[in-house]
Amino acid sequence: MVYSVEHLGLINYTDAWDYQKKLFNNLIEKKQKGEKGENLLLLCEHPHVYTLGKNGNRKNLLISDTQLKKIGAAFYPIDRGGDITYHGPGQLVGYPVFDLDAFHLPIKDFVFNIEEMLIRTVGEYGITATRLEKATGVWIDARVPEKSRKIAAIGMRIHNKVSMHGFALNINTNLEYFNNIIACGLQDKGVTSMQKELGMPVDEKEVMEILLNKFEEVFR
């Protein structure tokens, strides 16, 4: 294993972002010096927050600042790819701060592996998920446009083949918060969670343990 796992628990988005940037910059600096840096997978959960990728459209946030305060949610334009998404309780968020060269992975294969790990994770619960062409993330009923729904989102920043930001898996997520955005800028696609698909709450600690096992399978 060429990475370590750090559990941040419930953490404000900006605190996690600042920590990521510190690790990201340190890893790039070491790489540029020809030194070996530490690859870290950060796992956490955030209070209600919407984040908008650098190429996203602010209009995909459908509520005002006043309404954001009313529902107890924050909003941040950030430096990852992708459009707008939601993070909140009941969702498992992972931030791999990795030097992709340490894994001998091109960028495309790295994202493919993240998707694969998530597909295998939900598959342990009998949920059949797949990729959707030209739409990063993990989807259910991807080939049926009127039914396709995203169960896990992926948004990265990769510079000098070093990654930050990452993925979010909806476990027991309150999906009503997605009604305030056009998730990922896709008007004709839905969002789902493991709880919704299974019709019952899911043990989040168990999901995390399974996800870590699948992560190791894919990235070993």
Which two three-digit tokens encode residue 217? 């399978």
All residues at 6 or more sequence positions from 192 whose CB lies less than 8 Å from its CB, including other chains: 140, 149, 150, 151, 170, 175
| Catalytic residue ranges | 184
Task: Report yes or no: 151 and 170 within 8 Å, Cβ to Cβ.
Answer: yes
Residue type, 59: K
Please give, one letter per residue, the 3-state secondary structure of 96-127: EECEHHHHCCCHHHHHHHHHHHHHHHHHCCCC
